[in-house]
């Protein structure tokens, strides 16, 4: 392990300031939201005492120590995995993550994650704001969700992208297939989301605790086909990016995503089912959720950029089958 410690002695001009505010003014390559996470992770001491509150008010001559504990890259084994890169320059790369790939190492997943692939290709040429276990990782999408991610190649890019995620100016659209018809057809789901009390690996809507989560959605098509339960095609626009947000929100609405093994319908059994549909549903083998578009202001060019991703084969096949069975004259073009 290698310890990098940054030390500050509080002078008169910083007296009374919040801890996170002072640090954000002193450290140029970390945003206030990034530093808040550092503080809450118990990596900051004031007068040799660990402080976990970003709002801690500072006094004259307080000694502030910020610890960046770094794991060596060799602790994450590089993996020669294919990366579908959509865009790349010296600051960022945008890539298509396939369903089935975990974004970063965690419990039970240490070898074939996106981070293992990034370490293989870029070694240490990625931002380290989120530590060496998550190099370059600015945001995540679920293991069994496919689609677009932006990765930061340096701390300045990471900091500026992180700020856009914090103020919800990032533009993200998802395509989803859900069971049933969502009411109203178009709308906004706004709730609190917190850890599920019975299963800490899952999230749930809460009346009193949790983080605010907002999902806007538009019903694009309703499939009402003989021997197939009603299914809706939705376009979702995120205002926030909470863990499992879209999946939790539509499960809460009573319209879980097709193929969702955690929040979806359990032990699906049909009295009578279209065999082609059943075959394609089994072939899907993931939740029917795809991060279709991603837009952000480039961290150095200061230019808004937007990227789009086609649906992966298994998703597109199911959607085109539904379209065909519904007797429409055109195929879905996603």
CA distance 220 to 328: 14
Bigger pLDDT: 311 vs 109:
311
pLDDT at 331 over 80: no
Per the CB < 8 A criterion, the answer to whether 260 and 247 are in contact is yes
List the beta bridge partners of residue 94.
Answer: 87, 150
pLDDT digits (tens, 9 = 90+) for 218-244: 999 999 999 999 999 999 999 999 999
Question: And the tokens for 109?
Answer: 């997943």
Neighbours of 6 (CB within 10 A): 13
Query: What's the whole-number mean pLDDT along residues 273-298?
Result: 96
Active site residue 142: yes
Q: CA end-to-end span of the chain, whole Å?
A: 46
pLDDT digits (tens, 9 = 90+) for 3-37: 467 888 999 989 999 998 888 887 766 667 778 87
List the beta bridge partners of residue 49.
Answer: 46
Which of 20, 128, 142, 260 is catalytic? The answer is 142
pLDDT of residue 28: 62
């Amino acid at each position: 392990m290698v310890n990098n410690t940054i030390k500050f002695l509080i002078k008169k001009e910083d007296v009374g300031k919040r801890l996170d505010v002072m640090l954000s003014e002193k450290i140029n390559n970390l945003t206030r939201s990034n530093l808040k996470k550092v503080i809450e992770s118990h990596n900051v001491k004031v007068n040799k005492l660990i402080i976990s509150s970003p709002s801690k008010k500072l006094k004259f001559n307080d000694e502030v120590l910020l610890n960046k504990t770094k794991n060596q890259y060799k602790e994450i084994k590089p993996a020669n995995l294919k990366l579908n890169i959509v865009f790349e320059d010296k600051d960022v790369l945008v890539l298509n993550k396939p369903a089935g790939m975990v974004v970063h190492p965690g419990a039970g997943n240490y070898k074939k994650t996106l981070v293992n692939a990034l370490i293989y290709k870029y070694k240490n040429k990625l931002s380290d704001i989120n530590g060496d276990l998550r190099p370059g990782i600015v945001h995540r999408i679920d293991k069994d969700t496919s689609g677009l991610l932006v990765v930061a190649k340096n701390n300045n890019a990471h900091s500026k992208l992180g700020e856009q995620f914090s103020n919800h100016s990032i533009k993200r659209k998802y395509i989803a297939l859900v069971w049933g018809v969502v009411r109203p057809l178009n709308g906004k789901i706004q709730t609190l989301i917190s850890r599920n009390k019975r299963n800490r690996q899952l999230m749930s809507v809460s009346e009193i605790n949790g983080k605010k989560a907002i999902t806007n959605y538009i019903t694009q098509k309703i499939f009402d086909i003989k021997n197939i339960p009603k299914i809706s095609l939705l376009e979702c626009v995120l205002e926030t990016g909470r863990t499992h947000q879209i999946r939790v929100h539509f499960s809460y609405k009573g319209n879980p995503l097709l193929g969702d093994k955690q929040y979806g319908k359990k032990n699906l059994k049909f009295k009578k089912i279209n065999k082609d549909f059943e075959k394609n549903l089994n072939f899907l083998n993931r939740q029917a959720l795809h991060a279709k578009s991603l837009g952000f202001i480039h961290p150095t060019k200061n230019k808004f950029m937007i990227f789009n991703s086609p649906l992966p084969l298994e998703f597109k096949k199911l959607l085109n089958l539904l379209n065909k069975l519904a007797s429409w004259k055109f195929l879905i073009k996603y």
